[in-house]
Amino acid sequence: MDFSGKHVVVTGGTGALGTAVVASLLAVGATCTVPYVHDAEAKRFPHRGDSKVKLIAVADLADEAMVTKVYDGLKLWGSIHIAGGFASGKVAETGKAVLMAQINGNLVSCFLCCRAAVNAMAAGGRIVNVAARPALEWRSGAGMTAYTVAKAGVAALTVTLAEEVAKDGILVNAVAPSIMDTAANRKAMPRASFDAWPKVEEVAATILFLASPDNRVTRGAIVPVYGKS
């Protein structure tokens, strides 16, 4: 794959999966814009200072003005939307504030970035969203319903947008990871079978193909990236 001369936005690019995605993009010649919310992640981001990476601090990617700032003036090839958040909790225990935080953090942010990306892609391009396993397997989302609802919305957004913009040469897809092998997940679930979890580099490889010029025909797909789990 060759991304030489191609500009890609990666939201959530300073997180575990995002760092792997940015590393993969840089290795094949891409230039990356990486909006971030958490200063601590940005400070330890291994590609900080790379001439082909631009970090942009944002407070909230569910804010239209902030998203416009990220995409303004870009001649864009790709936009990869990893930013989001997780919350567990049964419906009976989940208030509106938690529900809206999940919808804003996962779905609204993705919607606004998709819209900005489409408007910045004058000559076609690629959009890759990140859904989640419960977005495809709703019953597995019991006990984390607000998160499941938001990620199911990301899946629906992906498919409908793919139909809208295919004629413009923009291919839109998503990946749906299961629990990924990250330090945070290992700490949260110390007794789990880590070997079964997909590695972030493996998920990044799937994202990279979907975002690449080598992907000429795949659109509207929600690709499961479950590993052995």
Q: What is the mean pLDDT of residues 59-84?
A: 97
Give domain status of residue 200, yes or no.
yes
- pLDDT beyond 90 at 229: no
Q: What is the pLDDT of residue 147?
A: 98
Instruction: Calculate the alpha carbon distances from 42 to 105, 154, 228 in Å.
Output: 19, 25, 31
Q: What is the pLDDT of residue 141?
A: 97
Rounded Cα distance between 175 and 178, Å, is: 10
Rounded Cα distance between 107 and 147, Å, is: 10
Give domain status of residue 2, yes or no.
no
Q: What confidence tens digit (pLDDT) does each residue in 3-14 have?
A: 999 999 999 999
Q: What is the pLDDT of residue 79?
A: 98
Q: What confidence tens digit (pLDDT) does each residue in 141-197 have?
A: 999 999 999 999 999 999 999 999 999 999 999 999 999 989 899 999 998 989 899
Q: Which CATH number covers residue 88? A: 3.40.50.720
Rounded Cα distance between 68 and 61, Å, is: 10
Instruction: Calculate the alpha carbon distances from 156 to 135, 173, 197 in Å.
Output: 9, 11, 25
**Number of domains present in the structure of the chain:** 1
For the record, the structure tokens of 224 come out as: 């499961």
pTM of the model: 0.96
Which helix (H) or strand (E) segment holds residue 36: the answer is: strand 31-36
Long-range pairs for 48-55: beta carbons < 8 A, 24 or more residues apart: 50/26, 52/26, 53/22, 53/26, 55/14
Rounded Cα distance between 45 and 65, Å, is: 25
Q: What is the mean pLDDT of residues 30-59?
A: 96
Q: What is the pLDDT of residue 27?
A: 98
Q: What is the mean pLDDT of residues 69-96?
A: 97
φ, ψ (nearest 5 deg) of residue 13: -70, -10
Give the model's confidence band at 129: pLDDT under 50 very low, under 70 low, under 90 confident, else very high: very high
For the four alpha carbons of 183, 143, 112 and 97, in that order, the dihedral sign comes to negative
- Domain range holding 114? 7-225
- pLDDT beyond 90 at 50: yes
Rounded Cα distance between 201 and 24, Å, is: 8
Rounded Cα distance between 225 and 177, Å, is: 5
Give domain status of residue 206, yes or no.
yes
- pLDDT beyond 90 at 86: yes
Q: Give the 3-state secondary structure of 152-188.
A: HHHHHHHHHHHHHHHHHCEEEEEEEECCCECHHHHHH
- pLDDT beyond 90 at 73: yes
Give domain status of residue 1, yes or no.
no
Give domain status of residue 112, yes or no.
yes
Give domain status of residue 65, yes or no.
yes
Report which residue type is found at 95. Answer: G
Give domain status of residue 53, yes or no.
yes
Q: How far apart are the first and last CA of the chain?
A: 28
Give domain status of residue 211, yes or no.
yes
